[in-house]
Amino acid sequence: MKTTNFLLIVLLIFASGCSSKLAEYSIISSRTLGDSNTLVFTSESQAQRVSGSSSRVWFLFIPFGEAPRIQYAIDNALNNGQGDFIENAELSSSWWSILLFSYGSYSIDGTGRRVVRYQN
């Protein structure tokens, strides 16, 4: 029992993490939408909550996978919600580390909307 408690205390001492909100956007997209004067959007009832992330794991300071990027998080959210842009988006960053393992990510949450048609 004492050994288990000691190992748990050592693990907690070497564990750390942080999460922070980086930005809030009224509208954000990584896609070309066209002239804003000619767009027609989906109705509020067809809008849906979307989220996406881009992350990477490290072991012994060796990165596995591609570096997390904000654009990849946005693309992931748009693809998950089959949307063209995100309204009221909140971008955040988080990371944690426990002994030899580390994890870092960007994530974005918001309301996904689609462009229905272009007006001429």
Domain of residue 34: give its range: 17-118
Domain-located, residue 113: yes
- Write down the pLDDT at residue 37: 63
- Write down the pLDDT at residue 98: 85
Per-10-residue mean pLDDT, the chain, length 120: 78 82 91 68 76 94 91 93 90 91 95 73
Q: Which of 3, 18, 19, 12 is nearest to 99 (CA)?
A: 12
- Write down the pLDDT at residue 34: 67
The number of distinct structural domains making up the chain is: 1
Domain-located, residue 24: yes
Domain-located, residue 96: yes
pTM: 0.78
- Check: CB of residue 110 under 8 Å from CB of residue 84: no
- How far is residue 57's CA from residue 32's CA, in Å, rounded to a whole number? 31
Domain-located, residue 5: no
Residue found under tokens 């509208």: 27
Domain-located, residue 65: yes
User: What residue ranges in the chain does DSSP mark as E strands?
Assistant: 15-28, 39-41, 48-59, 62-64, 85-98, 101-113, 115-118
Domain-located, residue 11: no
Domain-located, residue 39: yes
Domain-located, residue 4: no
- Write down the pLDDT at residue 53: 96
